[in-house]
Amino acid sequence: MLSLGDKQILVTGGAGFLGKQVVEQLIQAGANPDNINIPRSRVCDLRDLHSCTEAVKNQDVIIHLAAHVGGIGLNREKPAELFYDNLMMGAQLIHAAHQAGVSKFVCVGTICAYPKFTPVPFKEDDLWAGYPEETNAPYGIAKKALLVQLQSYRLQYGFDGIYLLPVNLYGPEDNFNPESSHVIPALIRKVHEAQQRGDRTLPVWGDGSPTREFLYSTDAARGIVMATQKYEESEPVNLGTNYEISIRDLVELICELMEFKGEIVWETDKPNGQPRRCLDTSRATEKFGFIAETEFRQGLKNTIDWYRNHGS
């Protein structure tokens, strides 16, 4: 097992929603807080090779969380930016890390990399069995290319890079910006604002039929750190809960927890996104002992409470 106590650790995206949790979990796992380095985008543009080269100097471990990411709306509006930014950030950081002699590289990918129609639960071996759902394919393919890069660098250079596939994340401090947020924070904000206005209806994109799986951010961070310490193989690994819920049931649960009494109106002319998402999480359990701990209803309640206290 990799001991973190004396390691210099670079966490890209370390000031973000997931990144803050990863830093906390690293410290709990024995990392020295003074040795955890977080490059900030305003001074370190990871799309630039020189910036990547500077960022990885004297680092032992790199955890790459930084991403240009959002929900269906952003994916439809800026597919070119999402493809270019995510591909360039990851590819150049991996290359710079290899050149600098970094001993461990942890790349956090995306569930959007899976084919649009994948047998449920998604198994890592099905990752290449088809084209991703069209609205998020540019983002998903850019991130999936980094898996190929890590596997290639392991084969040719012996570079120890691992690739993790977390399912949709949620939790306190999530991104609640309606222009770029994912489904849970978007719905929480939508319900809250409807309540503030006294609305009696709640419009929601799609028909409610797609299913999703959600992983609480603290659990995801713990899984990432466990993999950093214990996993040294080339095959990708899912991080999830193996709990699937329909968007319809999710909206109704959020309305219940937030005590919204109005009518849900399904906007069936808007896109649904991928039909189903649920992960087979057995590899993470077998390889490094990860099992999600946060019960979904409680995690949602924590997220709603945080937003009401901080986000609105």
266 carries a ligand binding annotation: no
17 carries a ligand binding annotation: yes
Query: DSSP for 140-164?
Result: HHHHHHHHHHHHHHHHHH---EEEE
CA quadruple 238, 242, 247, 253: dihedral positive or negative?
negative
**Angle CA(243)–CA(25)–CA(98) in degrees, nearest 5?**
100
Q: Is 139 a catalytic residue?
A: yes
Q: Could you say which of 139, 153, 170, 231 is catalytic? A: 139
14 carries a ligand binding annotation: yes
15 carries a ligand binding annotation: yes
Which of 162, 206, 179, 157 minimizes the C-alpha distance to 70? 179
158 carries a ligand binding annotation: no
104 carries a ligand binding annotation: no
Core vs surface per residue 233-255: b (16+ CB within 10 A) or e: eeebbbbbbbbbeebbebbebbb
Angstrom distance (rounded) from CA 16 to CA 30: 21
50 carries a ligand binding annotation: no
148 carries a ligand binding annotation: no
166 carries a ligand binding annotation: yes
Q: Which residues are catalytic?
A: 139
Which residues define the annotated binding site for substrate? 190, 205, 212
Mark the binding-site residues for NADP(+), compressed into ranges: 13-19, 143, 166-169, 182
Binding residues, as ranges, are 13-19, 143, 166-169, 182, 190, 205, 212
